[in-house]
Amino acid sequence: MPVPSLPKPPEGGHSISRVVVALVAVVVAAAILLGSSPVDAAARKVKLGVSMTEGSRDIAVMDEIKAETGRYPAIWTVWSAWGNANTKKFPSDMVKKIKARGAVPLVFWEPVQKFGVCTDHARFKKIKNGKFDWYIKSWAKAAKASKTKILLRFAHEVNGRYFPWTVGSCGNTVADYKAAWKRVYNLVRNKVGARNVQFVWTVAKKSCPGGCNPYKRFYPGNQYVQWVGFSNFNWGAHSGNWAPMAKGIKPVMGKFKQFTKKQVI
């Protein structure tokens, strides 16, 4: 039976044993969601990856996982913030290291300079009007030059209310967000020609208070998206009450099916 790659290790440590336990849970959850056995779910190539703390470039953790389990994760995240002098450039060196280990880089591309501050980086109206075209094209050219598959998670969890770029923050509207998304997409994949970059549209599982942000409302359209995804957090380590994984995944999958058939991260 094919074994999927490893999921995210717990924060604050590199406990491989806890990661393996989580792997079993994910395979079973996938079987429940797909209406099949764990063996069938694995055969459908459920791929799992690792998300490190923002700003981390510690590739050694990948090697630790390989040493303990015999394989690398399928996906490894890298963070890149538009206005951050340390991370705004395309992470060429990190991508090379990830590629060399047979994994796919998932870049969290955040239109922000500083969290909690409304700079133009986080204003979709500025992005859609072309203020950052020079930066987007420069980043995309470097991504194209990497000659490797890049999963690009741009402006994630836009339906939340905790990032400067989210709708309702810094004057952002849904219309401006979708227009900005389309402009960024066209610059990266069509203008620059970085077809190796695949856009990942992601939302937070829970929207703002009162359910004011249904997922479909934010969707830019299938022609501007390669993958869809969502963030689902299981806070059992903090509350002491772990929820079944399928309980957190199945409702969102059902909502996605109402407007797209794209693969899910």
DSSP-assigned states of every residue in the chain: ---PPP-PPPTTS--HHHHHHHHHHHHHHHHHHHTS-HHHHHHTT---EE-PPTT---THHHHHHHHHHSS--SEEEEEEETT-TTTSS--HHHHHHHHHTT-EEEEEEE--SSTT---GGG-HHHHHTTTTHHHHHHHHHHHHHTTS-EEEEES--TTSSSSTTSTTSTT--HHHHHHHHHHHHIIIIIIS--TTEEEEEEEESS-STTT---GGGG---GGG-SEEEEE---THHHHS-PPPHHHHHHHHHHHHTTT---EE-
pLDDT at 153: 98
Question: Is 50 exceeded by the pLDDT of residue 22?
Answer: no
pLDDT at 235: 82
Angle separating helix axes 16-34 and 60-69, nearest 10 degrees: 80
Bigger pLDDT: 43 vs 129: 129
* Total-model pTM: 0.82
Question: Is 90 exceeded by the pLDDT of residue 256?
Answer: yes
Angle separating helix axes 16-34 and 245-256, nearest 10 degrees: 40
Q: What is the pLDDT of residues 196-224, one digit of tens each?
A: 999 999 998 876 655 556 799 999 999 99
Question: Is 50 exceeded by the pLDDT of residue 94?
Answer: yes
Highest mean pLDDT among 1-10, 46-55, 143-152, 240-249: 143-152
Q: What is the pLDDT of residues 160-189, one digit of tens each?
A: 888 999 999 999 999 999 999 999 999 999
Question: Is 60 exceeded by the pLDDT of residue 3?
Answer: no
Residue whose token pair is 């994994």: 103
